[in-house]
A and B are shown apart, each in its own frame.
Chain A
Amino acid sequence: MRIEREMMRGAGPVAVLKLLESGAKYGYELVETLATRSDGVLDMGQSTLYPLLYNLEAQGLVRAEWREEASARPRKYYALTAKGKKRLAHDSLQWQAVTRAMLGLGVIDPALGGAAG
């Protein structure tokens, strides 16, 4: 299932920030992880991912760095900044509140709601 663009506009950045919480990642890695871990729901398309990353960089939420590791091609890695961590914490709380509200309204199946609590 693909989600609407407006919803993706809100979910995409926090999803990327969340993936970077565990460590720096490069573009293709983020694409693959997003698709895998969200069952394809947040498979935002690569044409959208890179502009999203550049915007996060412009906002100072991520920091980009070219790394040329041995036996591998040069890749641009993105890592969370301190500001990005704060934003992630803040946005996570917001999403949890929204999810709880949706659960209360019955928009979200209670069987799926455990993670939101």
Chain B
Amino acid sequence: MSDSESRDPNSEQAISPGRSRWSWVLHMPLSSVLRGEFSPGLDVHAIISGAGLPAPVAALIWDVLRRGRLWRSERVDVARELVAHFADGAAAGRTSEQLVADFGDVKTAARLIRQAKRRNRPVWWQTWHFAVWASVWLLAITTIGYGLLAARFYLGRPTIAHNYWHEINAARKVPEADRAWPLYRQAAIDMEPTPIFDFNWREERPGGEHWAAIEGYLARNRAALDLTRTAAEKPQLGFLVGDPGDFAAGSEDKNKALGLSNGGLTADENGELIAMKLPHLQVLRDLASWLGLDAIRAAAANDGAAAVDDLSALVAMSEQTHAPRTTLVDQLVGLALLELALRQTGRILADYPQVLSEDQIRGLAHRLAAYRGGDRSVEWTAERMAFQDFLQRIYTDDGSGDGRITPAGIELFDQMADRSTFINQLVKAGRVSSAAATLAYLLEPGAAALIGSRRENSDFYDAVIQAGLRAHHGWPWRWAPDLSMEMIRTAENDMRNRWRYAPALVFFPSVSGMFKAVERNFQKLDATEVALALALWHKRHGAWPERLDELVPAMLPEVPRDRFDGQPMRYAVRDGRPVVYSIGPDRDDDGGRPLGDKEVGMAETGFGRLSDEQLKHFQSPEFDGDLVLWPPVEPTPEPPPDAPAAE
């Protein structure tokens, strides 16, 4: 047998005895070298070719070794054993054909030998091998699992089952003759565009530098203001969301200042409810501001009847905003309109004490009492609708109130949330970089899996709002701790829950803030009623009472409570002038000494149960003073920038 006959062309050609001294060195077993024996023991080629086996048999051995993928020492061992085996067979008289046939299938032999030899390998190798295969399997299973997750995610589509715009409008539907909004809208269109004054025109008063400009505007727009007062007499506001009538009316608004046709969606289009336009709020605020100024103008002109008409209209406008399915923004604007009515009433009583007759004072008192007696509860239905609308746009719908987040939902959520989450950043980066887009595409299903289900978020939202509502039940000095804030804080501080409740967390309004706004304005309402009673008392007695309870019951049903501590509202006569006040958030009676202008806004948020930290904040020197409710404390004018500092 020649050397070439026994060599497998695909394998051990590089290992050839005598080819080079390096080859000898390379194939020496380390154990032999350590024993001082220098022989090419690991040279398989030498073993096979040196055995003088027939070529088919040698080729078979090579084939087994090549297919076996063994370690070098294993190859040598198997080669030696097979060489011995076939040599024994040949010695027993077997031909090479018989030897090859008796051996059986080479592939099977190679596979079985490989498996068996691996079982003989050291523990460290077995462990490593297991770890590698376990990792490969784990990776494969994870990949398949993630693929299925991704497919499930990317196949998810939201189902827009509700048109909340229609549901809101259905609740607000009133006969056309009872709707105030079309009249307000027309009045706003008819009015000259509000000039761009370089002063705070809403707070301008007779004698002021710019009062003439205000009077001029009021005179030129008398018809529109008459229409505004007519609208205020209507029983309902009747503003419909996404009303095409507003868009049509917007075309009459030559200056486009009202925003009536400013790209809004109609209710039939059923766009995102959160994107609905509320142009009526700015219209009402502007009209109310002019009515408030007109009330002052009338009082200055000794026209008590006109002033009362304006003030009553303002109260009515505030009532009208509390429509069915009203949003929190509507309600806050409504409270602002009430506050304007109360502020102007207080100013007229203080600055023009003779202008209102007893009947007019009583009429105003009754008007405020009627306001108090109406439904003034905080309305959350529309807020919940907005959240449910959001959910239906980001989740699938399984028909029973549950569903999973969708790609469209992630996109919308990203637009809504404006949060600096990793996936938000990726989505944003993906819009400009294809690599980031690909990464976002790969990671989105995983990130989406962390976001809680539709039901989880819906339940969490309801639980938080209910906790907030429960906390603000009854008088503010009896409010329970607001667990809603704690629930939100806890969720935001926990990584898992921050993802799980991410959709709900972007939607929470401040329950506490809303109730504090109500209390702030109702405390002013209380004080205005007291001021009206004091004005009546003064007309009859020519002096101020020593105590408020002297007004009860002839002029006041009862002395209202100070909403910071539940005690009777505070009253003092200082320098011959009455002061109606609340002790304020420091819970300390300072005899009616007013807080500074800048502290009043913050102080008015101090209702309810305060934490030790909050109480400490409000008991700092800057909040040392009282909230004077009547007569109004007018803001201190800002000194001109170049005025010399006071000595």
Q: Is the CB of B85 within 8 A of A28?
A: yes
Chain A's interface size range is 20 to 34
Instruction: Return the chain A residue nearest B94 by Cβ.
Output: A28
- Name which of B10-18, B109-117, B279-287 contacts chain A: B109-117
CA distance A54 to B109 in the complex (A): 12
Instruction: Return the chain A residue nearest B120 by Cβ.
Output: A58
Contact among A27, A51, A55, A59 with B85 in the assembled complex (CB-CB below 8 Å)? A27
Contact with A along B166-203 (1 / 0, CB 8 A): 00000000000000000000000000000000000000
Whether A96 is near chain B, meaning CB under 8 Å from some CB there, is no
Residue pairs across A and B with CB atoms within 8 Å: the count is 74
User: Using Cβ atoms and an 8 Å threshold, which residues of chain B touch A94?
Assistant: none
Whether B575 is near chain A, meaning CB under 8 Å from some CB there, is no
- Name which of B98-106, B142-150, B307-315 contacts chain A: B98-106
User: Using Cβ atoms and an 8 Å threshold, which residues of chain B touch A57?
Assistant: 116, 120
- Name which of A15-23, A42-50, A83-91 contacts chain B: A42-50
Q: Is the CB of A46 within 8 A of B84?
A: no
CA distance A55 to B115 in the complex (A): 8
Whole-angstrom distance between the Cβ of B225 and the nearest chain A Cβ: 102
Contact among B78, B89, B109, B119 with A47 in the assembled complex (CB-CB below 8 Å)? B109
CA distance A57 to B103 in the complex (A): 21
Interface centre among A48, A54, A58, A66 (most CB of B within 10 A): A54
Whether B80 is near chain A, meaning CB under 8 Å from some CB there, is yes
Scan residues 64-123 of chain B and give those whose CB is less than 8 A from a CB of chain A: 77-78, 80-82, 84-85, 87-89, 92, 102-106, 108-109, 112-113, 115-117, 119-120
The answer to whether A54 and B119 touch (CB under 8 A), given A45-B102, A45-B104, A46-B102, is: yes
CA distance A57 to B112 in the complex (A): 14
CA distance A76 to B81 in the complex (A): 6
Q: Is the CB of B80 within 8 A of A47?
A: no
CA distance A53 to B102 in the complex (A): 17
CA distance A50 to B106 in the complex (A): 12
Q: Is the CB of B119 within 8 A of A26?
A: no
Q: Is the CB of B80 within 8 A of A54?
A: no
CA distance A27 to B102 in the complex (A): 13
Whether A74 is near chain B, meaning CB under 8 Å from some CB there, is yes
User: Using Cβ atoms and an 8 Å threshold, which residues of chain A touch B87?
Assistant: 73
CA distance A75 to B89 in the complex (A): 13
Whole-angstrom distance between the Cβ of A35 and the nearest chain B Cβ: 9
Q: Is the CB of A50 within 8 A of B81?
A: yes
Scan residues 387-412 of chain B and give those whose CB is less than 8 A from a CB of chain A: none
The answer to whether A76 and B120 touch (CB under 8 A), given A47-B103, A47-B106, A47-B112, is: no
Whole-angstrom distance between the Cβ of B516 and the nearest chain A Cβ: 79
The answer to whether A45 and B103 touch (CB under 8 A), given A51-B112, A54-B120, A58-B116, is: yes
User: Using Cβ atoms and an 8 Å threshold, which residues of chain A touch B103?
Assistant: 45-47
| Besides the known contacts A28-B88, A28-B92, A51-B115, 5 further A-B residue pairs in the complex with CB atoms under 8 A apart | A27-B81, A27-B88, A31-B85, A54-B120, A74-B80
- 5 pairs of A and B residues whose beta carbons are closest in the complex: A51-B112, A54-B116, A47-B109, A47-B104, A58-B119
Q: What are 8 sample pairs from A and B whose C-beta atoms fall under 8 A apart?
A: A27-B81, A27-B88, A28-B85, A31-B85, A45-B103, A47-B105, A50-B116, A54-B120
Interface residues in chain A, defined as those with a beta carbon under 8 Å from any beta carbon in chain B: 26-29, 31-32, 45-48, 50-55, 57-59, 66, 73-76
